[in-house]
Structure 1
Amino acid sequence: MYRFACSLVLAVACLFAAPHAAAQDLPEPYVRLIADAATYDDGANFDAVVMMVARNAEGGDEAVMAAVRQVAPQRSAQASAALGQAGTMTLADNAVRPEPATMAMQPVEADAAAAASPAAPEIDPGWTGRVSAGLSVASGNSEQQTYNLGAELNREFANGWTFDSRINYAYAESAGAVTQDQLALEARGDRSVSERWGYFIGGQYDRDVLSSFDWTAFVSAGATFQAIERETLDWSLRAGPGVRYLMPATGSEETQFVVDLGSDLEWQITPDSVFISETTLLVAESSRAEQSFRFNTSVADNWAVEFEWRYRYEFEPLPGFEESDSRVTASLVREF
């Protein structure tokens, strides 16, 4: 192939170096180019070389055919057919030759055609989400019933925003007494401004009858950073200022300035199983940390089983209340 490339360069140079060659005698570089092309099995390559030389060299078809009969007589019929199909004209006919086509022109034409064709419309995936439910009943030496319900609703909008929301409710009784009564609602919108950076706005509401606060809520906004984005692993961080509202079990409503720090990690372990970690730290006069680990595995089309461990820590609980509480749930999930 190197010899072929060198011969092609010499042939092009011959257009300028030997414009007064004899009408029926091809310059030596052209002859070597034809001889070299004849050694390849690719017939289309030989045809292209023959037609190129006939278009550009003095002597035209007759000189090319004379050279072919001299250096590659076994290709004479092929060369004659190629020149006949091309319909090339010699300089002696005083005809205007067509502009030789080059490989470099083809991508330009393809790009122009692609630019002229209308872009395919983007498909709006619409709303997606899931619902979950879990139940645990114990009887005998101990009597306990535990219920948990959940739902998620998400969407990617055409303007670049993504919306994620979640609601969870857990209720438990033991020996006729309520041991758990928690409701949590979360919503957040995110938008990317570059490959890694973006911004968010969101909030959360929690009601826990048995905690030191009847209910708490906060809203915040800030920046997001995509630390890892791979096919099976996604990890994003967020930070921003906000406001937290608290209703103590005893006392009046409080409002505090907070800094919302968060981490969201999703690891696709297998095509049917995923691990999710969500971390939130509210830095304020009454700070709070919350951690959730979820493992979800598919059992059928759009059906899955999920196990979750959720832990919450209040840095400044009211007297008589514990700083932390946790729960473990198992749920059947239906995705849509």
Structure 2
Amino acid sequence: MLTRQLPLALILFGSLGAFTTACASEQPIPDDLQTAIIESATGNDIAEFQSTLRTAIAAAPEHSRAILRHAIRLRSDWAAELLLGALYDPPLKGATTEGESLFVAAVPADAANASAVARQEPTAPGETPREEKSPWSGEAELGGVARSGNTENLGVSASAEVIYEVAPWRHILSGSFDYLETRLATEEQAIEAEYQLNYDLTERTFVYSLAHYEDDRFSGFDYEITASAGLGSKVIDEERLSWVLAAGPSVRVFREEAAGETEAVPGARLNSDLTWQISDTAKLANETEVRLDSDRSEVENETSLTLQIIESLAGRFSFSAQYRSPVPEDTDKLDTTTKASLVYGF
């Protein structure tokens, strides 16, 4: 056993000596790269440390030898693994310097070329290349709906939400359309649209502004527009559980069907959004929104259960209740909506 290990030890120590001699006249590593390497070295994950080194070498290939020497000084307990990685892993694309043979000496030319193409993105040993996450995401939902309160009907519902997120900004655009009818005539059409803009102040705190439009045939109003701005906080921000609270002043612009006059009243808005990832295929969500002004109080709560069917397709069952007080004559204060739908995520 000792006989088998001896050649490998000689290679390691011989290469390390040659490597140290070659780096004696190296220029200093840029400060930002040194900082990144030092921060990564404080952890206990060698794969992550190696990934950081490969990223640094790709950013400054002329300092490749100095970077590896610096890494070995920081983590001498990982010296053997780091040197073996330098010997047997080809450099990232663009890492061509004098003495490059130290990094590719033991790799055949065809294997080095194939590996270099496959590793254009920095990855830890054994990992697949990481794809850059798209700033776009969202979902489209289509299903059946049943409403009670101001109307007792069945129908169809369609909705969509699109999110564009580039830190620290987050844009959220959503809309829904409910269509309910009997055998005789259309009984209800409800249209809602909302745009919200968030700006992150810290990892857990953000400011927001939003505009919400609603046109519900049986609400007693021709239309309602609510605008609000305020402060939000991620009270709980864990992998499987999140709870976000947001509050701020608002203004409601509306026109009653009977009066026919447009009015605007100031108020306040409070929103609570709770999400629990029960398992890899099941998610429970609850959202509550409270809108208060000098003329009316309004509370809306929706609870939904989403079950993953395949990668991008899920089934969702939801129940929501909306309470308004006071309301125009011949209008109920409470409306409930039950939905069962298919959801396509992207």
- Within the candidate set 106, 118, 136, 2:59 is matched to 118
State the identity as a percent: 25
Q: Which residue of 2 aligns with 1:284?
A: 293
3-state SS, counterpart of residue 204 of structure 1: strand
Q: CA deviation at 1:270?
A: 0.9
Per the alignment, do residues 201 and 108 of structure 1 end up closer, same or farther by CA in structure 2, a change over 3 Å counting?
closer
Instruction: Report the number of matched residues.
Output: 234
Deviations 1:114-172 (A, max 9, x none): 767639899351321121111479xxxxx965111111111211x41112222111111
Q: Which residue of 2 aligns with 1:298?
A: 308
Using CA pairs under 8 Å that are at least 6 residues apart, name the structure with larger relative contact order, 1 or 2: 2
Instruction: For 1:161, give the aligned amino acid.
Output: W
Counterparts of 1:168 and 1:314, CA distance in 2: 20
1:95-106 → structure 2 map (5 Å cutoff): none
Counterparts of 1:324 and 1:136, CA distance in 2: 17
> Normalising to structure 1: TM-score of the pair?
0.62
- Within the candidate set 130, 140, 159, 1:131 is matched to 140
Q: Which residue of 1 aligns with 2:196?
A: 188
Q: Which residue of 1 aligns with 2:245?
A: 237
3-state SS, counterpart of residue 211 of structure 1: coil
3-state SS, counterpart of residue 278 of structure 2: strand
Q: Does 1:267 align with 2:208?
A: no
Instruction: For 1:118, give the aligned amino acid.
Output: A
Counterparts of 1:144 and 1:291, CA distance in 2: 20
Q: Which residue of 2 aligns with 1:335?
A: 345
Q: Which residue of 1 aligns with 2:220?
A: 212
Counterparts of 1:179 and 1:171, CA distance in 2: 8
Flag structure 2 segments of 5+ consecutive residues without an equivalent. Answer: 18-23, 25-33, 40-52, 61-120, 123-130, 147-151
Counterparts of 2:301 and 2:254, CA distance in 1: 20
Contact residue 205 and residue 234 of structure 2 kept, 8 A = yes
Per the alignment, do residues 109 and 133 of structure 1 end up closer, same or farther by CA in structure 2, a change over 3 Å counting?
closer
Counterparts of 1:130 and 1:197, CA distance in 2: 25
1:1-336 → structure 2 map (5 Å cutoff): 111=38, 118=59, 123-135=132-144, 145-157=154-166, 159-251=167-259, 252-285=261-294, 286-336=296-346
> Normalising to structure 2: TM-score of the pair?
0.60
Contact residue 257 and residue 284 of structure 1 kept, 8 A = yes
Counterparts of 2:221 and 2:145, CA distance in 1: 27
Counterparts of 2:251 and 2:132, CA distance in 1: 37
Deviations 1:161-186 (A, max 9, x none): 11222211111112424333211112
Contact residue 259 and residue 283 of structure 1 kept, 8 A = yes
Instruction: For 2:328, give the aligned amino acid.
Output: L
Counterparts of 2:154 and 2:244, CA distance in 1: 37
Per the alignment, do residues 293 and 110 of structure 1 end up closer, same or farther by CA in structure 2, a change over 3 Å counting?
closer
Q: CA deviation at 1:324?
A: 1.4
Please tell me the root mean square deviation across aligned C-alpha atoms, in Å: 3.5
Q: CA deviation at 1:189?
A: 1.6
Per the alignment, do residues 144 and 108 of structure 1 end up closer, same or farther by CA in structure 2, a change over 3 Å counting?
closer
* Structure 1: 4+ residue segments shifted above 6 A: 112-116, 119-122
Per the alignment, do residues 328 and 192 of structure 1 end up closer, same or farther by CA in structure 2, a change over 3 Å counting?
same
Deviations 1:272-321 (A, max 9, x none): 11111111111102221111111111111211111111211111201221
Counterparts of 1:334 and 1:108, CA distance in 2: 43
Contact residue 144 and residue 175 of structure 1 kept, 8 A = no
Contact residue 326 and residue 333 of structure 2 kept, 8 A = yes
Q: CA deviation at 1:190?
A: 1.4
Counterparts of 1:216 and 1:136, CA distance in 2: 22
